[in-house]
Structure formats: structure tokens, C-alpha cells
Chains A and B, each alone.
Chain A
């Protein structure tokens, strides 16, 4: 009988959910006589809401199981051994079964993520069996010139997936046009946007696709060295990248005269970032690689002319690199067949927040917000009301529910005041306060501003102060207008992308949720009941059991009541710390 193959998803989030323990259990089972199966590792398949995930493949089909902890894996394996059939109860996806996971996968087109979750990321042989390095071999076999390769990238319509959306082929043309004894290709893997993790998944799941993309670019622009600037918070990605680089060197895909091309010398090393959001900006990133404080510089000169060590340099984002081999191998027309007129291909989104099916999705450009949220995402947690989706993190804005039919492409998203960004998509429901979200992002940019430009350094701080006082119930008439004015000034007078986009989350929430700002300022109310200072805490008489925990925990003794009798909050003493609400075990503290 053919052996069953069991594959465990060991990406960062899988491990966080306990996949390591499941894998450990499987190795123990393998030792036992009654089981006979092969065990394999893979990375994140994007179905994060069902982690840990385990796939069981047998001769009669393959089944993806979700929520597989140490106990469940034994149940599943026993069932397979005994019945040679799946334990359908826990199956989340299978071609043969109608599971909820079906719509999640069937709505996707996987190009950048083509191998993520399907191969062992630490094995170059498995990657090569899934077409890794075939695109570069095709270039060699068909003797494509550098210009022909760049033309293919141009024809595909691929735009920078880091967020700005500059045509990738054009960037390559610029880099090629400048000559230098040394030339560099950089992979921007400093994924700093909170709420985005697609680059991490890609690097952990299919590092060879990124390496191959960089090699193809090096061939096209004539580069001599490559750097992957990866943030230190992604230790697993760094480990797997280094494994992949060592394997590629052994195969002659990196080093001297690679792919048998005389004089094509190109090698890549990984540079660990040290934690600074601004280093996602290309000139700051270059400064950081050079070992300096990661502060942006004036452009021009653009990196294509004078980048790393003042040599011509081309920088692209992880997802952009991963698309390149597919485009060369399958043809630019095929890539351009997906998407809209000005935004071709697919885009990976990290779908998080108040969404049922949170995870990683790769969708063709031109899909609508509603399709992503309701079809792929399965709707809002607890079926609450969908309020808005935040795109682009601290540089972006939100698309409100009434614009749910907005197409996801660079230009349509920009028209709403949000930006495509790197692909973080945080879903918010009626319990999310938009003023609080704006304050949250401003707090982030204030901390991350490098301090070079006055408007960014001081302006964002002043905006944050205004937002804080609005959230604390001290908002004044004219605050909204002041925020708008400051925002406009900061956008106009900042040097780099961080400052130029920092006010976006505020301006975009004012644009669509001005009434929430007004409720905070004039009525001293937080409609979503998030801003603590604007909430009145009351005891729900029907739910209170008189357990006294709230009275014990209250720091100002504002709650009184006898044991086993309904308690009472003295509003004049209450400092609105919320401790009664978080400590009540019966949900008896109501927010008014």
C-alpha cells in the first residue's frame, strides 16, 4: 500500500498557534508500529484562522485539516489508519468535499504565493520541482537579452507591490541606463506596516522565488551584488533565506559565472534590520545598510543613479520579486490578463481585524472590497455591522462600508483617500472607534518619525495631541479644522513618504466619519464605546450576582454593594479606568 503523506504548516503563525507541538506528536506517532506515514513540513498556506493546519494525502485524495492540536492529530491519524478515509468533521478544505474553506481558496489566484504552503521551504529540490529557477534557465536557453527581459516585465504591467505602485519595468530601465563598476539589487523586506505580514509569509514559504526574481533583475540591469534587507522581528524568515542562499550557491545559481553565463557574477546576502519603520523608505533603507541612522535623503539623485555606496541601485519589494519568475516563465500576457486596465496581475492581502476568515489572500486586481470581505473573508465576526476597512496602515486610509463596491486597484483605492499600500487590510466593525484608530496610527508615526523634517517631527506630534484630547473628552470647537490644516501642511512639506502620508489616516477618517469626531467633541460621547473617558460605567442589575470583584478591583472605591446583592457605581468617584468592566465575569458592567 502507498504510504500516507502528512504535511504540517510550520510558518510563524502556525508555530504560534501550536503547530510545533503537533509536529512533535506526529514524530512520536511515527515511531509506533500501528502507524505508517511520511512526515513533511511546509509553510503558511494563508488560512491563518484555522491554524494549526495539517494536510493528509493518500492515494484516494488529500484533505486539509484545521485547528489540529496534539489531541486532534491522534484522532485524525487513527481514523485514517482504520478507515482509509478522512475524518470529515475537521476537514477545512478538500477538492472532494464541500467545505467552508472552498470559497476561501476558490476566489484566489495564486501567483506570488504559488508555492507557499505547497513545498518544504528548506528544500531547493522541492522548490525546483515546482518551477524554481526555471525562468532564469529559460532566459539562458532562449538567449534572451537584458532588454528583452525588461520588455517582458514592462509588458506584464507589474507595478511595485510595496505600495507606491511605480512600474517595475521602468525602474529596471533606469537602473540599467546608469553605468557603474558596481551595481546593486536590493530586496526591501522591512515590512514595518503594522497589520501586514505577506512578505514574511512569502520569505518563510518560498524564499527561492524571491532569490530568482533578484537574479533575473541582476541579469537585466547588470548588477554585481544583492542585499535582502529583512527586519529582525522575522527570525524564521532570516533563517530560511540564509538556507536558501547557501543552497543556491551550491547549485551555481549564485556566485561566479552563474547559470553558466561567462562573467555573470552575482551574490546575495541578508542584512538584518534593527527596527525602524522609516527604513521601508528606499533612501533610508540604503542609509541603514550603510550602517548609518536610517534617515531618508533628498531625491534626486534617485537610487537608480546613486544608491547603495553611491552606486546605481534597484530596490523592489518582496512580493514584486516573487512575481518576476512567474511572469518570465508564463509570459507577460498571461499575467496582464488578470486585473484592470492600469493595475495588472494579482495582489496579496493580509486580511485581519474583525473578520471571520483572517489570513493571507491573493486576489486578482479589480475585485471589490465587498467580495474580499464577504466571499473570501466570510463576513464580520459575530455578524456585527461592517464599518470600514483600513488599507495601507499608517500611510493609508479607510474605505467605509458604503464604498464597499470600490474596485481594488491602485487608482480606485487612491480615489477614496486610502492607498493600496503593501497589503495590510484591517477590517473594522461598529465597535471600532474611528477617532481612536486615527490616534493609534498617529501615535505610531510620531514614534517612528526620524525627526529630520520639522513638519513631520513637530506637526504629527501636535496632531496627536489634538486627537488625544478629543479622545479624552477635551476636544474643542475648531479641532477638526486644525487637524485638516496641519495634515495638509505636513503632506506638503515633508521629505519622504513617511511624513507625506502620515496625516492620511486622520484625513480619511475625518472625510468619512466626521460625525464621530463631532460626537466626541460636542456631545462628549464615543459612539463605538472605545474611548474610556467618554464612557459611563453602570451595573446591569439583572446580570450582577454581587460577587464583589468589581468593588475589590476599583482603585477609587467608587463601587459599593453588599455580597450577593446588586452593586452600584458612584459616578462622582469613578475615574473611568474600566477595571470593573474587564474584571466582571458576568458581563454585568454596561457601557453607556
Chain B
């Protein structure tokens, strides 16, 4: 079921419950307060600020808009877009659509998991990478495909995929 996706066995990073809630959140709350069907845009806006949905943001939104915490949590856990844990600086999305699957996307995921020492959905201890598998990026003719942040890389295999992230890691360390 859908809820399984957000619980990660081994999250190396602790969830900071004391995130400083900025004024940016006020803007979003003012914009959507009292509008019908506002839970998803509120959560999307929050995630755009923090990269995930901090507990403190849930509480603030609930207090100021009157939305029930349980309703918001229900929506947040239903959709794959929402994260309850902080993510790494670079998000790797390995496509596991049908076309990528038949072109051996598993080899790409396995190689990345081994290299980074994390499982699907987890973040590296240094906070540099988060590894995710996604259903379909819609670049099927370039299968297998992965996206790192906003860049798409196509026609991958286990070796070329590693090269991509090693290049990024090297640049980050400089």
C-alpha cells in the first residue's frame, strides 16, 4: 500500500524538529487559507521551501488555518511527492517504468545503492545524495533513465550511472 513508501528502515539523518519556520510559510498560508481543496497546494508550497514537510510546519498550518492535523497527515502520506524526512542535496531518481525495467534499470539502481551504501528512499550520511526509484519519467526511448535534480541522463548502464554521481561527488568536495 502507498503508506509503506515513506517509512525508511535506516535513516542516517536525524529529523530536526526544531526547524526554524520562516516567513515564507506565512505567505503560503495567507494565500490558501480558507480556500476549498487547499491541503495539497499548502503541502506542496511547504515542501518547496524546506525540501520536506517538517513537523513544525504541520502544526503551524493547522493552528492558523484550522485544518485537522490528521487530514493533512493523511494527504501527506498518500501521495509519493511528499516527504516527511529531510533529503540530501542531490536527489537521484532512477526510473523504473516498463521501458526502463526491460532495459535493466535494476542494474542501475543496484550499482548506485552499492556505491552510496544506502537503500531506495534513503539519504547518505553526509547528506549529499538521496536515492529514489520512480515510476516513469516519460523519456522511455532513452531507457534506462535517471534524473539527478533537474538533469536527465539516458541510455545508462551500471557503469555510466556511477560515473555521473562520482562526477557530482567530486565537484561537491572541491
Q: Please judge, given known A-B contacts A309-B36, A451-B2, whether A350 and B140 are in contact too, CB under 8 Å.
A: yes
* Chain B residues with CB below 8 A from A432, complex form: 102
Q: Write the A566-592 contact mask toward B (1 if CB under 8 angstroms, else 0).
A: 000000000000000010000000000
Residue of A nearest to B43 (CB): A274
Closest to B157 in A: A582
Partner of A426, one of B37, B74, B99: B99
Residue among B37, B44, B102 having the largest count of chain A Cβ atoms under 10 Å = B102
Q: Is B1's CB under 8 angstroms from A289's CB? A: no
Q: Is the CB of B97 within 8 A of A195?
A: yes
**B154: which A residues are within 8 A, CB to CB?**
13, 16-17
Q: How far is it, in angstroms, between the C-alpha of A13 and the C-alpha of B137 when the chains are bound? A: 10
CB distance from B1 to the nearest CB of A (A): 4
Q: Is the CB of A233 within 8 A of B138?
A: yes
Neighbouring B residues of A233 by C-beta, 8 Å = 134, 136-138
Q: Assess whether B1 is in contact with A451, with CB atoms less than 8 Å apart.
A: yes
Interface membership of chain B positions 24-55, coded 1 if the CB is closer than 8 angstroms to chain A and 0 otherwise = 00000000000011111101100000000000
Given known pairs A49-B141, A353-B99, A353-B102, the reply for A290 and B37 (CB within 8 Å) is: yes
The answer to whether B81 touches A16, judged by C-beta atoms less than 8 angstroms apart, is no
Interface string of A264-281 (1 = CB under 8 A from B): 000000001111110000
Instruction: Give the CA-CA distance A16 to B143 in the complex, in Å.
Output: 11
Asked if A191 meets B141 with Cβ closer than 8 Å, knowing A393-B98, A424-B98, the reply is no
Known A274-B79, A276-B78, A291-B40; judge A13-B142 contact (CB<8 A).
yes
Q: Which residues of A contact B137 (CB under 8 A)?
A: 233
Contact for B44 among A272, A424, A457, CB less than 8 A = A272
Q: Which of A51, A194, A273, A359 contacts B135 (CB 8 A)?
A: A194
B101 at the interface (CB under 8 A from A): yes
Which stretch in A31-39, A180-188, A441-449 binds the other chain? A441-449
- Fill in one digit per residue for B135-174: 1 if any A CB lies within 8 Å of its CB, else 0: 1111111110100000011100010000000000000000
Residues 444 to 475 of chain A near chain B (Cβ within 8 Å): 444, 446-451, 457
How many contacts between A and B, using CB within 8 angstroms? Answer: 144
Cβ-closest chain B residue relative to A192: B135
Q: Which of A162-187 contact B (CB under 8 A)?
A: none
Given A197-B139, A451-B1, CB of A426 within 8 Å of CB of B98: yes
* Interface bits A405-448 vs B (CB < 8 Å: 1, else 0): 00000000000000000001010100010000100110010111
Quick one: which of A49, A428, A444 has the most chain B CB within 10 A? A444
Q: Are A194 and B97 in contact (CB under 8 A)?
A: yes
Q: Are B111 and A197 in contact (CB under 8 A)?
A: no
Q: Mark contacts of A199-217 with chain B using CB atoms, 8 A cut-off: 1 yes-contact digit, 0 otherwise.
A: 0100000000000000000
Contact of B75 among A293, A390, A446 (CB under 8 A): A293
- Indicate if B82 sits at the interface (CB-CB under 8 A): yes
The SS class assigned to the A binding surface is mixed
| A200 and B138 form a contact (CB under 8 A) | yes
B158 touches A197 (CB 8 A): no
Q: Is the CB–CB distance between A195 and B140 below 8 Å? A: yes
Alpha-carbon gap, A197 to B143, bound state (A):
13
Q: Given A274-B44, A432-B102, A289–B141 Cβ distance below 8 Å?
A: no
Does the CB pair B139–A13 fall under 8 Å?
A: yes
- Name the residue on B nearest A47 (C-beta): B141
Cβ–Cβ < 8 Å partners of A232 in chain B: 44, 81
Bound CA span A288–B44, Å:
13
Given the complex of chains A and B, what is the CA–CA distance between A289 and B35 in angstroms? Answer: 12
B5 x A294 contact (CB < 8 A): no
B101 touches A440 (CB 8 A): yes
Q: Is B80 an interface residue (CB 8 A)?
A: yes
Q: How many residues of A contact B (CB 8 A)?
A: 57
- Interface 1/0 per residue, B71-103 and A, CB below 8 Å: 000110011111000000000000011110111
State how many angstroms separate the Cβ of B44 from the closest Cβ of chain A: 7
Q: For residue A15, which residue of chain B has the nearest CB?
A: B152
Contact of A277 among B5, B82, B111, B135 (CB under 8 A): B135
Q: Mark A95-111, 1 if CB is under 8 A from B, else 0.
A: 00000000000000000
Instruction: Tell me if B2 and A352 are in contact (CB < 8 A).
Output: no
Contacts of A358 in B (CB 8 A): 99, 140-141
Residue A292 at the B interface, CB < 8 A? Answer: yes
Q: Say whether A63 faces chain B, with CB atoms less than 8 Å apart.
A: no
Q: Across the interface, which residues of A come within 8 angstroms of B143, CB to CB? A: 352-353
Which of B3, B74, B81, B98 sits near A195, CB closer than 8 Å? Answer: B98
Q: Is A525 an interface residue (CB 8 A)?
A: no
Say yes or no: A274 contacts B81, CB within 8 Å: yes
Q: Does B107 contact A (CB under 8 A)?
A: yes
Minimal beta-carbon separation of A372 from chain B (angstroms): 15
Give the distance in Å from the alpha carbon of A48 to the alpha carbon of B139 in the complex.
9
Interfacial chain B residues near A290, Cβ < 8 Å: 36-37
Determine whether A247 belongs to the interface, using a CB cutoff of 8 Å to chain B.
Answer: no
Let me know if B22 is at the binding interface, CB within 8 A. no
B23 contacts partner chain A, Cβ-Cβ < 8 Å: no
Closest A residue to B155 using CB positions: A17
How far apart sit A309 and B44, CA to CA, in the bound complex (Å)? 21
The reply to whether the CB of B10 lies closer than 8 angstroms to some CB of chain A is: no
Residues of A within 8 A of B96 (CB): 194
**A354 x B36 contact (CB < 8 A):** no
Q: A15-B152, A288-B40, A350-B140 are in contact. Are A440 and B98 (CB under 8 A)?
A: yes
Indicate which residue in B82, B97, B111, B139 contacts A582 across the interface (CB closer than 8 Å): B111
Please report the C-alpha to C-alpha distance between residue A196 and residue B135 in the assembled complex, in whole angstroms: 11
Closest-by-CB residue of A relative to B153 is A16
Chain B proximity of A190: nearest CB distance (Å): 12
Q: How far is the CA of A220 from the CA of B76 in the complex (A)?
A: 37
Which partner residue on chain A sits nearest B93 by CB separation? Answer: A233
| Alpha-carbon distance between A292 and B73 when the two chains are bound, in angstroms | 11
Residues of chain A within 8 A of B82, CB atoms compared: 274
Cα–Cα, bound, A197→B138 (Å): 5
Instruction: Provide a sorted-by-A list of 5 A–B residue pairs whose CB atoms are within 8 angstroms.
Output: A12-B139, A194-B96, A194-B98, A274-B80, A292-B75
**12 new A-B pairs (CB below 8 Å) besides A15-B152, A232-B81, A276-B2?**
A12-B139, A16-B142, A51-B142, A196-B138, A197-B139, A234-B138, A274-B81, A275-B79, A350-B140, A358-B99, A358-B140, A426-B140
The 8 closest A-B pairs by CB, nearest first: A48-B141, A194-B97, A195-B98, A274-B79, A291-B37, A16-B152, A275-B80, A358-B141
